[in-house]
Amino acid sequence: MEYKITLFKVHMPKSVIKPLKNTLLSGFIGQGPKVEEFENILGNYIGNKYVLTLNSCTSAIQLALRLCNVGFGDEVISTAMTCTATNEPILALDAKIIWADINPTTGNIDPKSIKNKITNKTKAIIAMHWGGYPPDLKEINIIAKEYGIKVIEDAAHAFGAEYQGQKIGNHSDFVCFSFQAIKHINTVDGGALFCKSEEDYKRGKLLRWYGIDREEKDRSDHRLEKDIKEYGYKFHMNDVCATIGIEQMKFIDKILEKNRANINTLNNAFQNNNKIKLLSYKNDRLSAYWLYTILIKNKDDFKTKMNEKGIMVSPVHARNDSHTMFQEFRCELPNVDKFYSEMICIPSGWWLKNEEIEYIIKTINEGW
Ligand SMILES: Cc1ncc(COP(=O)(O)O)c(C=O)c1O
């Protein structure tokens, strides 16, 4: 199927070529000064200097779980309404997933359901930002504090989102972002982990590169003699990816502004369409709008008809509890049932021309 209007687009400015060439031919392409520069830019943008760039958001989630000391038999409360990348790292650490239900008007994890699922084995909560819209972070962090549990935000969809006057990246113990190809900004592949505490940040810095201290002054024999206290990963970002990230960051404000303007237009156009229900967003937070999700009764029919008209629409993520790898954790999730039966995402991003937005509106409002 050839789509005229796609759900995603890779953002790659031509201006990246010159700095990229310089880095590629510089004689240093591993984790070095460009990574540090990118981290400084990200830290200033978000307002949190405890940032670790990594090779993916999946790595960021796994590293965050390690920093929470999640291990064999521990329980992690999470949502099934997400990308499998949110939950596969829990299995990688031999821990158990406990699904909490969601708010069916936003797609985000429900704090009341989280509270009902806490046991003395609960080590962490993963709160994912569906489509870029922040979950109830205040309520979630209050519950976590009460029970001594850590909060990890999966903000893969939410770079640039805001909650109660602050950019996402400041509210919980750990916040994970994705710079994968089709996200707001990309480093081809990449991610970042923002930590609340200096202690977690310092430990994370070691664990992202085999547990070895790269800042160690004595490099006489490639750090061979330094004792490694705790096993780590090869999760770090390199200077080539960071060079792309530095260039991409010059465009982030425009990308977010255009996403939000497009969604404003779409919301206004569908306001009086009684076949469509819009998600219900509060005004104490600002979505980064990676996805524009609507609720519709006969979504399979809608999908077929929209695809025939050249407009790509999709649920984007399958509910995770449907996968065999997660089958032992299945439980009743009535609001996931409700949301998943009606939700579908339609194109809305920064790349759409005005006439394309008009075509989407006309196709949908004239009865698809
Ligand atoms: C919600 C969510 N979490 C995590 C990820 C993983 O991101 P990455 O591809 O950077 O590992 C994705 C990827 O799309 C995602 O949508």
Q: Which helix (H) or strand (E) holds 88?
A: helix 84-92
Q: What is the pLDDT of residue 219?
A: 62
The pLDDT of residue 300: 94
Q: Is the CB of 62 under 6 A from ligand 1?
A: no
Work out the number of other CB atoms within 10 angstroms of the CB of residue 264: 11
Whole-number Å distance, alpha carbon 218 to ligand 1 midpoint, is: 37
- For residue 190, how far is its CA from the centre of ligand 1 (angstroms)? 10
Q: Does 184 sit in the ligand 1 pocket, CB within 6 Å?
A: no
215 by Cβ neighbours in 10 Å (0-12 / 13-18 / 19+) ranks as: exposed
> With a cut of 70, which residues of the chain have pLDDT below it?
1-2, 217-223
User: Nearest to residue 291, comparing CAs of 132, 164, 149, 144?
Assistant: 132
pLDDT at 313: 97
Instruction: Decide whether any atom of ligand 1 lies within 6 Å of the 157 Cβ.
Output: yes
| CA 347 to ligand 1 center in whole angstroms | 19
Contact 154, 86 (CB under 8 A): yes
Ligand 1 site, residue 132, Cβ cutoff 6 A: no
Tens digit of each residue's pLDDT (9 = 90 or more) over 200-231 = 999 999 999 999 998 876 666 666 778 999 99
Name the residue with the closest Cα to ligand 1, atom 5.
Answer: 85
178 lines ligand 1 (CB under 6 A): yes
Looking from the CA of residue 60, the nearest atom of ligand 1 is 11
Best residue for ligand 1 mutational test, from 10, 55, 57 (most atoms within 8 Å of Cβ): 57
Domains of the chain: 14-251 (3.40.640.10), 252-365 (3.90.1150.10)
Pocket test for ligand 1, best of 180, 187, 193 (most atoms within 8 A of CB): 180
- Structure tokens of 68? 């929470």
| Residue spans of beta strands (DSSP E) within 55-139 | 75-79, 96-100, 122-128
> Residue 36's closest CA among 23, 17, 18, 21?
23
Q: Tell me, what's the pLDDT at 215?
A: 84
SS (H, E, C) 269-324: HHCCCCCEEECCCCCCEECCCCCCEEEECCHHHHHHHHHHCCECCECCCCCHHHCH
The model's pLDDT over 126-137, given as tens digits with 9 standing for 90+, comes to: 999 999 999 999
* Atom 7 of ligand 1, residue of closest alpha carbon: 57
